[in-house]
């Protein structure tokens, strides 16, 4: 899932300072799961903005709304009445949701309430780790289900660099070396042959070198 965290409240206050009607919109999907932009966090942010406005004696109306997903038009459309009556919207969705709301309502100022960080999963309560780089050319079949793009600090594709020591990354002794993990899992599975041949040069054209990426499902029959 997409992992994000709320921007500092002071930063959001500054972004909204010049507006009289502010709508804070939460998202019920990924950012709810990572406790960044769900209903609870959205209510708390709206309350914080009201409190700040009151302390500064600014005449501001702060409202809030929730939708299941801000990244799909049908759910964004549900916000139309409230968005169109606001001067500015603070979206507590990921960056995709912010852009979707901004595109649907081009006459309304749409502001990000979160910093979108990465795709990952929870490893313990309140802790998430990045697991996928979204490179568009998956090699997990060759690396025992461990992504070297996201989990290696240098995105190495042919094994560990010279800086790793005792199974730890040179970046930090708290970070496990991705290639040490890959080696151990392949060995456990009896698949070390995957490490014999050098990996070919990666085709980065499926990643971020060609601008905005697009996928079209030709197999879907849409009436």
Fold entry, domain 2-118:
Rossmann fold (3.40.50)
In which residue ranges of the chain is CATH 3.40.50.2300 found? 2-118
The strand order across the sheet containing 114-124 reads: 2-6, 114-124, 127-132
Q: For residues 147 and 132, give the distance between their C-alpha atoms in angstroms, rounded to a whole number.
A: 6
Global confidence as pTM:
0.82
Structure confidence at residue 216 (pLDDT) = 67
**Residue 135: its pLDDT value, please?**
84
How confident is the model at residue 217, as a pLDDT? 67
Cα–Cα distance between 42 and 31 in angstroms, integer? 11
Mean pLDDT of the chain: 90
| Residues lower than pLDDT 70 in the chain | 208-217, 220-223
């Amino acid at each position: 899932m997409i992992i994000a965290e709320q921007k500092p409240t002071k930063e959001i206050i500054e972004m909204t300072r010049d507006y009289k009607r502010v709508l804070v919109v939460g998202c019920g999907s990924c950012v709810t799961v990572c406790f960044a932009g769900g209903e609870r966090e959205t209510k708390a942010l709206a309350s914080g903005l009201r409190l700040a406005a009151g302390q500064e004696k600014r005449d501001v109306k702060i409202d809030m709304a929730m939708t299941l997903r801000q990244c799909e038009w049908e759910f964004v459309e549900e916000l139309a009445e409230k968005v169109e009556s606001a001067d500015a919207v603070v979206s507590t969705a990921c960056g995709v949701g912010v852009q979707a709301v901004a595109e649907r309502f081009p006459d309304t100022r749409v502001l990000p309430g979160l910093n979108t960080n990465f795709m990952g999963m929870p490893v313990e309560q309140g802790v998430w780790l990045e697991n996928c780089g979204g490179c568009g050319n998956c090699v997990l079949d060759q690396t025992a289900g461990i992504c070297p793009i996201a989990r290696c600090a240098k995105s190495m594709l042919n094994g560990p660099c010279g800086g790793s020591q005792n199974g730890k990354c040179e970046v930090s002794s708290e970070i496990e070396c991705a290639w040490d993990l890959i080696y151990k899992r392949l060995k456990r599975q009896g698949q070390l042959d995957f490490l014999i041949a050098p990996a070919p040069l990666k085709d980065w054209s499926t990643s971020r070198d060609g601008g905005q990426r697009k996928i079209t499902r030709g197999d879907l029959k849409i009436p």
